[in-house]
Amino acid sequence: MARYDLSWGERDDLLARVVRGLHAARKLWRRAGRGVSRYLPKRLYARSLIIVIAPMILLQSVIAFVFMERHWQTVTQRLSQAVTRDIAAVIDVIETYEDAPEGGGEGEGGEQDVDYSEVIRIAQERLGLQISIEPPDPLPPPGPKPFFSILDRALSEEITGLINRPFWLDTVGNSNIIEIRIQLEGKVLRVFARRSQAYASNTSIFLLWMVGTSLVLLTIAVAFLRNQIRPILQLAEAADSFGKGRPTPSGFHPRGAEEVRRAGSAFLLMRERIERQIEQRTAMLTGVSHDLRTILTRFKLQLALAKSKADIHALDQDIEDMRLMLEGYLAFARGEAAEDPGKFDLAAFFDKMREEARLMDCGFKASLSGKREVLVRPNAFSRLLTNVISNGFRYASTISVDAVHGNGSLVITIDDDGPGIPAEKREDVFKPFVRLDAARNQDESGTGLGLSIARDIARGHGGDITLEDSPLGGLRVIVRVPA
């Protein structure tokens, strides 16, 4: 017995090749999985139906294959064998008639004229076969074989094995009759038999039962899956409503399977905790603002009663700046506070902004496509648009607003001809208390909360705000919210 000794280097090289092959197979498997998943449905309902239907089709295909290839083949083989034995018996009877001395007189060629009427009668009445004795013409050429040729193959094998004479058969023509021609000495035996005598012809019944039971099971599965997926859809709708700042849909409560009920209960508890934290935060800021407002009011009163006017103007300006900052903080806190959704009139708001632009001697154009009313939190949404457009009034001379409301969404595009914001700093302006003095020339009284409040409100409605370059040369603000 030969031995193959490998050096350590050869072993390491072989191991490295095996590892590389496994990595390549793993990558190929992942790539194939990604290719298949690209064409699979994305929704849970469709995937669940596939999980139910695919095993059903696979099981029935295996059963049909086994039944047709095993059971039908066995039954057809036995039936074909029985028909072939009957034909072989008829041939023996015919040859026996010919050998009998009293079979009939001699014809012109010295051959006996045999009367086969009794053989024909016995074959028809006892064997169920229609036979005839034909002249010794050549057999027809072989015809086309059927695609599903269990009967053709079984009959050919049985005739070859039991009779072993030249033959021709037709199982394609008349669907209910099969024709067999066998070459005998000086004649041709032509046999017509019913297809059911040689073939288990219950295909239609089997297929009907298979399709019928599949449809019944599929109907039950569809009804069951709909009932199971409906609670998941309701939970998704409730979560989406909460993300948009809307109340929970009426009648929502955990239902369905145990896992879905647990997810629904966890969602409700999470919503309660978030709302409680928001209320506590808002209440704390409200209390702080009340105390600070009291101090600011005393400052103003002391300044008003002061006899010396030196530095009073500067102190008064500081107090005003503190008041504006305090209002900004409160606005930031109110941006997350609960507010019931309602209808917001975009056209009326644009008219209000147009009047404000006239007072500030600023160009303002607004266009609206679609419905003028949108379902949002009115006060919060008004603050969002006011913060964005007011920034344009402060830094630009021309403002253009284009609102498109339709197909379940609202897109508002605000363009200005101001100095704009550098692309690398556009995300920074949405952070609280961030001010870009060089970019937008914000004055010292700003708090840096305007765009933070605006984005917070937009995301509270399930949307967002993005910044781009404006065709007017300044900044483009795009507000997208579902509506």
DSSP, residue by residue, 113-180 = ----HHHHHHHHHHS--EEEEE-SPPPPPP-PPPSS-HHHHHHHHHHHHHT-S-EEEESSSSTTEEEE
The whole-number pLDDT of residue 113 equals: 62
Alpha carbon distances (Å) from 305 to 102, 293, 312, 461: 157, 18, 11, 48
Average pLDDT over residues 192-213: 76
The count of C-alpha atoms lying within 13 angstroms of the C-alpha of 480, restricted to the half-sphere facing its C-beta, is 10
Band of the pLDDT at 148, cuts 50, 70, 90?
low
pLDDT at 440 over 80: no
Average pLDDT over residues 38-64: 77
- How confident is the model over 310-365, as pLDDT tens digits? 556 666 666 776 776 677 666 666 555 556 788 899 999 999 999 888 888 888 99
Band of the pLDDT at 104, cuts 50, 70, 90?
very low
The whole-number pLDDT of residue 191 equals: 92
**DSSP-derived pairing of the beta strands 167-170 and 130-134:** unpaired
3-state secondary structure of 207: helix
The whole-number pLDDT of residue 308 equals: 59
Average pLDDT over residues 56-61: 81
The region, left, alpha or beta by phi > 0 then psi within -120 to 50, assigned to residue 433 is left
Where do the domains of the chain lie, and which CATH numbers do they carry? 64-101+113-201 (3.30.450), 339-482 (3.30.565.10)
CB 298 within 8 Å of CB 279: no
pLDDT at 47 over 50: yes
Band of the pLDDT at 295, cuts 50, 70, 90?
confident
Partners of 169 in the beta sheet?
A: 180
Percent residues over pLDDT 90 in the chain: 11
Q: Looking at per-residue confidence, does 11 or 218 come out higher? A: 218
The whole-number pLDDT of residue 339 equals: 67
The whole-number pLDDT of residue 5 equals: 59
**DSSP-derived pairing of the beta strands 363-370 and 398-406:** parallel
In terms of Cβ atoms closer than 10 Å to its own Cβ (0-12, 13-18, 19+), residue 187 is middle
Neighbours of 191 (CB within 10 A): 22
The whole-number pLDDT of residue 465 equals: 92
The whole-number pLDDT of residue 213 equals: 81
Neighbours of 317 (CB within 10 A): 12
pLDDT at 474 over 80: yes
Average pLDDT over residues 25-53: 75
The whole-number pLDDT of residue 103 equals: 46
Residue 161's Cα: distance from chain center in Å? 57
Average pLDDT over residues 254-261: 80
Q: Looking at per-residue confidence, does 142 or 313 come out higher? A: 142
The whole-number pLDDT of residue 110 equals: 40
The whole-number pLDDT of residue 77 equals: 84
Q: Looking at per-residue confidence, does 205 or 130 come out higher? A: 130
Band of the pLDDT at 146, cuts 50, 70, 90?
low
Alpha carbon distances (Å) from 102 to 109, 117, 184: 18, 15, 21
Residue 273's Cα: distance from chain center in Å? 34
Percent residues over pLDDT 70 in the chain: 77
The whole-number pLDDT of residue 100 equals: 60
In angstroms, the CA 197 to CA 87 distance is 12
CB 153 within 8 Å of CB 166: no
Band of the pLDDT at 412, cuts 50, 70, 90?
very high
The whole-number pLDDT of residue 385 equals: 92
Calculate ∠ Cα 322-325-327, nearest 5°: 110
Find the DSSP H helices in 244-343.
258-305, 312-334
In the predicted model, what is the mean pLDDT of the chain? 79
Start-to-end CA distance of the chain, whole Å, equals 82
DSSP, residue by residue, 366-418 = EEEEE-SEEEE-HHHHHHHHHHHHHHHHHH-SEEEEEEEEETTEEEEEEEE-S
Band of the pLDDT at 438, cuts 50, 70, 90?
very low
pLDDT at 397 over 80: yes
Q: Which strands make up the sheet holding 177-184, listed edge to edge? A: 130-134, 187-194, 177-184, 167-170
**CA neighbor of 467 nearest in space, from 401, 417, 422, 404:** 422
pLDDT at 260 over 70: yes
In angstroms, the CA 169 to CA 196 distance is 16
Band of the pLDDT at 306, cuts 50, 70, 90?
low
**CA neighbor of 405 nearest in space, from 332, 345, 450:** 345
User: Can you state the percent helix, strand and coil of the chain, rounding each to 5?
Assistant: 60, 15, 25
Q: Looking at per-residue confidence, does 65 or 109 come out higher? A: 65
Calculate ∠ Cα 473-479-483, nearest 5°: 150
Average pLDDT over residues 301-305: 71
The whole-number pLDDT of residue 480 equals: 92
In angstroms, the CA 414 to CA 424 distance is 20
Band of the pLDDT at 155, cuts 50, 70, 90?
confident
CB 309 within 8 Å of CB 332: no
Residue type, 323: R
Tally: H helices and E strands in the chain: 13, 11
Q: Looking at per-residue confidence, does 191 or 272 come out higher? A: 191
pLDDT at 297 over 80: no
Q: Which residue has the tokens 């969602």?
A: 267
Residues 6+ apart with CB under 8 A from 73: 150, 154
Kindly report which listed range (23-27, 243-247, 258-262, 394-398) carries the lowest average pLDDT score: 243-247
The whole-number pLDDT of residue 49 equals: 79
pLDDT at 444 over 50: no
CB 181 within 8 Å of CB 190: yes
Sign of CA dihedral 134, 140, 146, 151: positive
Q: Looking at per-residue confidence, does 194 or 49 come out higher? A: 194
Q: Which two tokens stand for residue 114?
A: 């045999």
